[in-house]
Structure 1
Amino acid sequence: MLIGVSLGPGDPDLMTIRAKKALKTSDEVFVPGERAKNIVKKYCDPKELDFPMTEDEEVLKEYWVKNAKKVGPLAKEKKVSLAGIGDLCFFSTFGHVKKEVEKIFPEVRTRTIPGVSSITASAAKLDLNVQSSFEVTDGSEKNKKIVLKATKPKSLAEKLKNEGYSEFTLGENLFREDEKITKDLPEESSYFSLLVAEKEEQSWK
Structure 2
Amino acid sequence: MTALGTLYGVGAGPGASDLLTLRAVNVLKSVDVLALPRSSDYGASVAWEIIAPALGELAELPPSQTRLRLTFPMSKDPARVRPHVESAVNAIGAHLVEGRSVAFVTEGDPSVFSTFGYVRQEAQKRWPELRVEVVPGVTSITAVASIGGVPLADGHERVAIVPATYGVDDLVDLLRRFDTVVLMKLGAEMPIILAALEQTGLTDRAFFVHKATMAEQRFEPDVRKVRDEHGGCFSMLIVKRRDRSGVLLGNEP
> Fold match, TM over 0.5?
yes
| Deviation at residue 32 of structure 1 after TM alignment | 0.3
Aligned positions of 1:91-102 closer than 5 A: 91-102=113-124
The question of whether the paired residues in 2 share the 8 Å contact of 1:37 and 1:48 is answered with no
Aligned positions of 1:188-199 closer than 5 A: none
Aligned positions of 1:54-73 closer than 5 A: 54-73=75-94
Q: State the secondary structure of the residue aligned to 1:18.
A: helix
Percent of aligned positions that are identical: 32
| Deviation at residue 53 of structure 1 after TM alignment | 2.3
The question of whether the paired residues in 2 share the 8 Å contact of 1:72 and 1:105 is answered with no
Please name the residue that 1:18 is paired with. 23
Cα distance in 2 for partners of 1:69, 1:103 equals: 12
- 1:105 matches 2:130: no
Please name the residue that 1:36 is paired with. 47
The question of whether the paired residues in 1 share the 8 Å contact of 2:35 and 2:68 is answered with yes
Which amino acid counterpart does residue 41 of structure 1 have in structure 2? A
Please name the residue that 2:111 is paired with. 89
| Deviation at residue 71 of structure 1 after TM alignment | 0.4
Q: Indicate which of 32, 36, 39 corresponds to 1:27.
A: 32
Q: Indicate which of 130, 138, 154 corresponds to 2:163.
A: 138
Q: State the secondary structure of the residue aligned to 2:23.
A: helix
After superposition, the C-alpha distances for 1:99-144 in whole angstroms (9 at most, x for unaligned) are 1101112232111100100111111111112201111111559xxx
Q: State the secondary structure of the residue aligned to 2:24.
A: helix
Large movers: runs of 4+ above 3 Å? none
With normalisation by structure 2, the TM-score equals 0.53
Tell me the matched-pair count: 141
Point out where structure 1 has 5 or more consecutive residues left out of the alignment.
142-205
The question of whether the paired residues in 2 share the 8 Å contact of 1:72 and 1:108 is answered with no
The question of whether the paired residues in 2 share the 8 Å contact of 1:14 and 1:116 is answered with yes
Q: Report the structure number with the largest CA radius of gyration.
A: 2
Please name the residue that 1:80 is paired with. 102
Aligned positions of 1:115-194 closer than 5 A: 115-129=137-151, 130-131=153-154, 132-139=157-164
After superposition, the C-alpha distances for 1:19-50 in whole angstroms (9 at most, x for unaligned) are 00000000011110221112233425432112
Which amino acid counterpart does residue 55 of structure 1 have in structure 2? K
Cα distance in 1 for partners of 2:92, 2:129 equals: 13
Q: State the secondary structure of the residue aligned to 2:162.
A: coil
Cα distance in 2 for partners of 1:104, 1:68 equals: 9
With normalisation by structure 1, the TM-score equals 0.64
Point out where structure 2 has 5 or more consecutive residues left out of the alignment.
1-5, 39-44, 168-253
Which amino acid counterpart does residue 96 of structure 1 have in structure 2? Y
RMSD: 1.7
